[in-house]
Structure 1
Amino acid sequence: MGDHGHHNSVRRSYDTVAEEYTARLHNELAEKPLDRALLASLLEQTEPGTVIADLGCGPGHVAAWLAAKGARTVGVDLSAGMIEAGGRRFAQVEFRQGDLLELPAEDGEFGSAVAFYTIIHLDPDDLHRAFGEARRVLRPSGLLLLSFHIGDEVVHRDEWWGYGVDVDFRFFEPSYITELLEGAGFTVEMHMERTHYAHEVATRRAYLLARRT
């Protein structure tokens, strides 16, 4: 990220809450039918035999869900704590510690990629670089499934489940993210919005499915 202090604070914050996060959220997809439907659609459209990347994977529960459906998955996260927690729980996922702005992957390594609530920790100036990296690691015509909170605010947290943290959550307008994706070499094929589920933070959420051109 352009601001290394911000970058480090995000990593430290997720290291701090990694065990709690994993314990609370490792099975959250069970209560998110629309998310599961979109992931199933992504899996169906992924070139057979290719790997699906989970970018900003946290403890890897999304990658693990895809693996349970027969996918080969690689989870990438900035936080070593998240990688360690996920590795203990989800042995079926290959984990790599790494940065969205410099992904630990070869050119064209992945058939598709998912990034649920991952770009919310990026500064707007870093989004184009992150999308360029996502395009680099995808095969031609590979798909990227993104989700994020809708709006233009920045929510700062210095406490999370009783732990001291220092992290910003950025909200984005779908039209803005669509424009950046198109500028980075993607075509947006699907745009869906939903309200929060009862157990989620009260925000409106956007999902974009973009194909590498």
Structure 2
Amino acid sequence: MSQGEERAALLPVALGWPVMGEQGWLRETRAAYDTVAVDYARLVHGELAGKPLERALLATFAELVGNAGPVVEVGCGTGRITAHLRDLGLDVTGLDLSPGMVAVARDTWPGLRFAVGSMTDLPLPDGSLAGLVAWYSIIHLPPELLPGVFAEFHRVLAPGGELVLAFKAGDERIRLEQAYGHTVSYDVHWLPPDRVAAQLAGAGFAVHARLLREPEGYERGPQAYLLVRRPGGEAGR
């Protein structure tokens, strides 16, 4: 068995490990997304079709990863980005904090793998991934936790592994009490792209692409995207 095949074989087993390190913000975020899961899926299902820049960035990520090994989307929600990455040819699994979101993802995309877990304590072996995607999922973490989470991303990526992030660009915390037609209570953090890039570099990543997009439609501010790599290998290239 090759190293890539061994990693792929480990992944579904590892993703069955329990969520660790329960905290208040984590419980709130899980409860909110459990509440909104069905309506969230209905409202955002086809959204990526109207966002060519995001599709181009995901296609670049997929080309860089290639067939080097498994990919995980952390904070996969109802699975729309995970499914898109599968369609781009990646061996991908979705991981989300919310059992409600994962249940909808499994119903919507029955041919894909989804599991419950937290990005703060990833249930994965060291160096087991060729790629990692955090698509608007770091926005719910208290900003002081980001350096530790980025260190965790670095741990699970193999040398040469790729990481792509999407997040809301700014510097503020917004408390949501209504979302997707439901009463909820959780935080959304708008993050300065330069600070996030510096934190990624501090965790050992090399930043090799940045994109800042102006708001469109319902968005109330610019959107940021970073493509980074764990140095030391040639995953997918």
TM above 0.5, one fold? Answer: yes
* Cross-structure match for 2:7: none
Change in Cα spacing, 1:193 to 1:135, as seen in structure 2 (3 Å) is: same
Q: How far off its partner does 1:162 sit? A: 2.4
Q: Could you say which residue in structure 2 is the equivalent of 1:100?
A: 119
Counting aligned pairs with the same residue, the percent is 38
Closer/same/farther in 2, CA of residues 2 and 105 from structure 1, 3 Å limit: closer
Of 8, 27, 42, which aligns to 2:46? 27
Are 1:18 and 2:37 counterparts?
yes
Any idea what SS the aligned residue of 1:23 has?
A: helix
Counterparts of 1:66 and 1:209 in 2: how far apart (Å)?
15
Deviates more, 1:48-57 or 1:37-46: 48-57
TM-score, normalised to structure 2, is: 0.86
2:93–2:112: 8 Å Cα contact kept in structure 1? yes
Conserved 8 A contact 2:165-2:226: yes
Unaligned runs of at least 5 residues, structure 2: 1-19, 232-237
The answer on 1:201 being equivalent to 2:211 is no
Aligned length: 212
Q: Is contact 1:150-1:172 (8 Å) kept? A: yes
How far the C-alpha of 1:28 sits from its partner, in A, is 1.4
Larger gyration radius, structure 1 or structure 2: 2
| Pair 1:165–1:196, CA change in 2 (3 A) | same
Contact 1:64-1:92 at 8 Å conserved across structures: no
Write out aligned runs for 1:67-146 (5 A): 67-146=86-165
Greater mean deviation of Cα atoms: 106-115 or 15-24: 106-115
- How big is the shift at 1:3? 7.8
The answer to which of 88-97 and 77-86 deviates more is 88-97
Contact 1:67–1:92 (Cα < 8 Å) also in 2:
no
Q: Deviations over 1:166-211 (max 9, x none)?
A: 111101111100111011110110111001222x422101111111
Distance 1:73 1:124 in 2: 27
Mapped partners of 2:70, 2:26: distance in 1: 27
Conservation of the 8 A alpha-carbon contact between 2:215 and 2:221: yes
Larger mean Cα displacement after TM superposition, 147-156 or 11-20: 147-156
Q: CA RMSD in A?
A: 1.5
User: C-alpha distance in 2, partners of 1:40/1:55?
Assistant: 18
Counterpart contact for 1:51–1:110, Cα < 8 Å: yes
Structure 1 residue ranges (4+ consecutive) displaced by more than 6 angstroms after TM superposition: none
Name the SS of the counterpart of 1:136 in structure 2.
Answer: helix
Alignment partner, residue 17 of structure 2 = none
Structure 1 distance, partners of 2:75, 2:38, is 16
Aligned-partner Cα distance in 1 for 2:104–2:198: 35
Find the aligned partners of 2:115 and 2:21 in 1 and give their Cα distance. Answer: 22
Distance 1:9 1:187 in 2: 33
